[in-house]
A = this chain, B = another copy of it.
């Protein structure tokens, strides 16, 4: 599964296209036979877009079905909230995608956006909004980091 690091800001052109940062593109396409594109969705508690590779969402979906059963109301609510609002965006030959208008509006994205790698997934922000969010997160992380549980050396 792909891994995303670092932050990049790219322009959104008149047609709504954005270049996905090359490192993210390579991360997604590294897996043989993987879907050449990304999947994005509206996260529940943040004014941004979240994205990942298809394998990530498939795993989320399959675990929901596996842990809750295919007709469990709790499973359905999360599946509907995340998956129904998701979009599968394939790269054009130049490595760009088209952000759906609804998700763009929800994140307040206009003519530029910031890609933020956070491990197995990434976020897409309005550049100014991300600066504010980042400052907030830094303060929070400084408090939380010392309390993190130990890694446990390779949980099976």
Contacts and interface: CB of A to CB of B under 8 A. Distances in A.
Interface of A: 1, 3-7, 23, 39, 43-45, 54, 56-65, 67, 70-71, 73-74, 76-88, 116-121, 133-134, 137-138, 140-142, 144-145, 148-149, 151-155
A70 B60 contact: yes
15 contacts: A5-B84, A6-B88, A7-B84, A23-B88, A56-B152, A59-B151, A61-B118, A67-B149, A74-B144, A77-B137, A80-B118, A80-B133, A82-B141, A84-B117, A119-B152
Nearest to A87: B6
A76 B137 contact: yes
Given A70-B120, A78-B141, 19 more contacts: A5-B39, A5-B88, A6-B84, A6-B85, A23-B88, A44-B145, A60-B151, A62-B120, A76-B118, A77-B144, A79-B118, A79-B119, A81-B137, A81-B140, A81-B142, A81-B145, A82-B141, A83-B117, A121-B152
A119 to B, nearest CB: 3
A44 B6 contact: no
Contacts of A81: 137-138, 140-142, 145
Contacts of A74: 140, 144
Contacts of A67: 149
A68 B79 CA distance: 19
